[in-house]
Amino acid sequence: MQVRGIRGAITIDEDNKSQVLDATQELLTAMQAANGFLPEDIASVLFTVTPDVRSAFPAEAARLMGWEQVPLLCFQEIEVPGALPRCIRVLIHINTDKPQESIKHIYLGQARSLRPDLSD
């Protein structure tokens, strides 16, 4: 079994706790549905937020989804001029037998502009 990374990102309209939690849950749910993993398949999850997102930890959304035993960690993105604002990014490491080319990365909202080659 391999450890594979699944990338995803989503944007919020304004920085408030409910938008951070709702958007993060939307993203995680879409990533889980697209890749068919269970919480027990997850090795770890890394979240980043742009400097303008300060109202909540995205990891809280995963805990609310029942990801109680999953190691979660949040970071702040570096501040790059012209970067996409109010963006939540995630990297999920899963244990899987799927080959790399079968992994589906998910970009929602304005975050589709980050990886148009991977967005539907």
User: Among residues 4, 7, 26, 40, which one is catalytic?
Assistant: 7
User: Among residues 4, 86, 87, 89, which one is catalytic?
Assistant: 89
Decide if 107 is catalytic. yes
Decide if 54 is catalytic. no
Decide if 77 is catalytic. yes
User: Among residues 60, 77, 101, 112, which one is catalytic?
Assistant: 77
User: Among residues 14, 40, 54, 63, which one is catalytic?
Assistant: 63
Q: What would the 3-class secondary structure string for the chain be?
A: CEEEEEEEEEECCCCCHHHHHHHHHHHHHHHHHHHCCCHHHEEEEEEEECCCCCCCCHHHHHHHCCCCCCCEEEEECCCCCCCCCCEEEEEEEEEECCCHHHCCCEECHHHHHHCCCCCC
Distance (Å, rounded) from C-alpha 46 to C-alpha 73?
Answer: 5
Decide if 89 is catalytic. yes
User: Among residues 26, 60, 112, 115, which one is catalytic?
Assistant: 115
User: Among residues 26, 60, 74, 112, which one is catalytic?
Assistant: 74
Decide if 4 is catalytic. no
Decide if 86 is catalytic. no
- Which residues carry out catalysis? 7, 63, 74, 77, 89, 107, 115
